[in-house]
Chains A and B, each alone.
Chain A
Amino acid sequence: MSDKKNWPLWEVFVRSKNGLEHRHCGSLHAADEDMALENARDVYTRRSEGVSIWVVESKNITASNPENNGEMFEPAHDKVYRHPTFYDLPDEVKHM
């Protein structure tokens, strides 16, 4: 058997009701994915907060680095033509 290992960390995502997306709601420890799901149910849906749960081991998440926020996210700021308000319409057209 391998060296002593602690239960790894998992991230929990809960769909609060039918039709909504899963949202990150916290993390927990569990030995494997089955236990992670059960623990998530017991820890994060005690007050009927969910209808569906995703769990993913934290180490499997790839995150962007805040140091690169400039090149990652700022170039999108001036692309106003992606938004409907960029386009002029005659007042007569009420809905488009």
Chain B
Amino acid sequence: MKNENLYKYILGIADNSLILGQRLGELTGHGPSLETDIACTNMSLDLFGQVRSYYQYAAKIAGDNRTEDDIAMLRKEREYVNVLLVEQPNTNFAYTMARQFLFDVYHLLFLQELQKSKDLTLSAIANKSIKEVSYHLRFSSDWIKRLGDGTEVSHQKMQDAIDGLWTYTDELFHQTEADIAMVSDGIGVDVTKLKDAYYNKVKAILDESTLQTPESKWFQKGGKKGIHTEHLGYLLAELQYMQRAYPNMEW
């Protein structure tokens, strides 16, 4: 592939939205209220919309006959390069919102930079996605506050969720080889530069929500290299089921 770094770079962005969208999709019909259920499905739909734009672009770059669905559903476990954070399960609504929030803060910062990319397709996708993700962040931050500063029970559950997911935040700022190459071409975003803004923003919301910002310095990594938590395999088993069980068919 001529543009292999660009291809890999796009997957690095899009896989996050794919896996997070899939996780949110699991909840449709099971939310704590009808209104909240509808809202979470909206976020899932936004993310899948983004995924399709990215993968369609990636398929074009690959230049063989692969489709968005081939990219989404026909890779092996080790070929997905999403961060570990987004594949964590919907343990309870606190986990779902904490995962969303910890990703949204990053996602918005990232897209604001990607908008400036020399690659016009990426910059256009970023431009459209920013509006969606700004709303996601508003929605998830509000829930962090409600649950953090709600009842004793909700405070405890939200603190547990933040503590449990914290270990996956640092990976957001790791760079792959494709990242480094794309940054030097003026196409990619230097994520290392987003780190301070990220932790400042997260801390500000957690403070407002009466939650403790974890101090642990031990972080998990590997997602960007395709080494995932055990959760991803099951998620992929569902995501890929039809394409694997009925190969080479149109739907």
Contacts and interface: CB of A to CB of B under 8 A. Distances in A.
Per DSSP, chain B at the interface is helix
B35 A42 contact: yes
Given A7-B33, A29-B33, A43 B38 contact: yes
Nearest to B42: A42
Contacts of B38: 39, 42-43, 46
Interface string A58-92: 00000000000000000000000000000000000
Interface in A2-43: 7, 28-31, 34-35, 38-39, 41-43
Interface stretch (B138-146, B191-199, B203-211): B138-146
A73 to B, nearest CB: 35
Contacts of B142: 34-35, 38
Contacts of A31: 146
A1 B42 CA distance: 33
Interface string B27-45: 0000001111011001000
18 contacts: A1-B151, A7-B33, A28-B35, A29-B33, A29-B34, A30-B35, A31-B146, A34-B142, A35-B142, A38-B39, A38-B139, A39-B35, A39-B36, A39-B38, A39-B39, A42-B38, A43-B35, A43-B38
Interface of B: 33-36, 38-39, 42, 135, 138-139, 142, 146, 151
Interface of A: 1, 7, 28-31, 34-35, 38-39, 41-43, 46
